[in-house]
Amino acid sequence: MVINLDPCSQNRISRWIDSISRSASAPPLNHSIPKYIRKGKRAASAEMNNTTTSQSRRQLQLGRPPTKRSRTNDSLASGPDQSGSSSAQNQITTCDTSTSGDRQTSPPLETISSLRTARPPIWIDSVDDLQKEEALPVQVTLLAQRLAHGVGAGFIPARMEEIMMNDSEIEDEGSTDPTDFYEENEYSEQDLAAIWQKVKAIYRNALVCHSRLRDENAWSDEVVRPLIQLAIDLHGKGRWWMQNIKSQFIDPAYLSTVLAPIDGDSSRYKAVDRNVDYALSYSHHSKPGYLGLYNVLNGRGKGKVGPTTDKFTKTTAVFSGIEVKSAGGNPNQARLQIGIWIAASLRKKQELANLAQVQFKPAEIIEPVLTVIGHQHYVYVAYPRREPLSGEDGTQVLGPVEVIQNLGPAEPLSTTSPREIFQLIKLYGNILEYGIDRGKEGYWGSFLGKVLRQLAYKRLEVQAQDGDLPAGEA
């Protein structure tokens, strides 16, 4: 069979044959790269492309923005995206994949201001700004005072002073003051030495992370997590578990939605899904943990007490939240993330309270949350609030709040010296103690413990003693 080609086609074929002839004698472009490296590069590239594409496709199907796993910046980012995988995900998420070649209009990205008009709204304000509109709930002042207790003075065991002074590996221990130390007899000499070694490691890691411009994963793993875990060991009384939730999804039922019009649907809303790095959870270990209470809740089909979709975390009562950024990271993005997380967490708790028929005042469900930007740790407080003019119910996030008397919110605690690390341990210890306090001023005693016990036992009129409860409930 003879195929007649037009002149244009004949010319293209001729040029193609000529290019093959010329390249046959040319050395391969990657001749200087060893074979095993070329193979590894191809495999790594294929794996990255497959992972990025499948993950982004799943996000498109779910209607979700890129997950925390990719650490994708939103419109609040202060600089260009430096992650190749993040750029690829942004392209996949925002480009039209049809054959028309037209680019689809991207939905507006979330900002702190857009959360104010979300459904339900999330208000993120400074204390001064909110005070211009209304009086602060007394619970805000009481919690701020509680968190500040002992952070300004008396936060280092007195016998630690000699250990610190005799350590030649630390040239600058932060110029401690005599009022920093307090007398105690709860720690042995071995305990104090072990605590100092951990504090010193946190300090050194923080210096390296800062000086070598390490990313937020390094700050999280080598500075923030060891710091909070040390506070849990010293002040948690065996009742806390630190949860890494950065790759988990928040249950859409507890997310706010923002207006995100697209072609053909100008009234479209989408869920605002941004997670944080860590949350504190009430331990699943046996007594003094809460294993017995969790077992009863699960046995009665009421075990879903957390706001995420993760198989484990959704069965865990969570408290607070911590978002970590590297030095120079975007503080507004961190504030946005803790706002979205704590709003979802509080809505879940309100749902549980309604199921348990436990009455509460919104400001009584007040929790501290934190952002960490490199060395600096900022404290916020969050609680359900009704806007007085519109009557809308939402979540109020206030801060940063001062944690030391006469120290304003612009000067947060940091990990720039062992002295301040001890202050941070005390601060996190105060947060932990508030969360498990069974008294009327504590979070567990005034609210969450009541709710979970009512769900588990269907009664509150009989105040059970510890010995009357399954192992683990307190």
List, as one string, the DSSP characters of 168-179.
TT-S------GG
Classified as helix, coil or strand, 51 is: helix
pLDDT digits 0-9 by tens, 283-331: 999 889 999 999 999 999 999 999 999 999 999 999 999 999 999 999 9
Tokens of 450: 């009541």
Q: Quick check: 362 pLDDT over 60?
A: yes
| Helix (H) or strand (E) run with residue 296 in it | helix 291-299
CA-to-CA dists, residue 453 to 306, 460, 462, angstroms: 15, 8, 11
Torsion, Cα 222 228 229 230, to 10 degrees, reads 100
Chain center to CA of 48:
25
Of 40, 44, 41, 42, the residue nearest 52 (C-alpha):
44
Q: Quick check: 35 pLDDT over 90?
A: no
Would you state the pLDDT for residue 363? Answer: 87
Output the average pLDDT for the chain. 80
Torsion, Cα 373 221 346 295, to 10 degrees, reads -170
Would you state the pLDDT for residue 422? Answer: 98
Q: Give the pLDDT band (50/70/90) at residue 56.
A: very low
pTM: 0.76
Identify the residue with better confidence: 169 or 173: 169
Would you state the pLDDT for residue 172? Answer: 64
Would you state the pLDDT for residue 410? Answer: 52
Is the CB of residue 290 less than 8 Å from the CB of residue 317? yes
Kindly tell me the burial class for residue 28, based on how many C-beta atoms sit within 10 Å of its own C-beta (0-12, 13-18, 19 or more): exposed
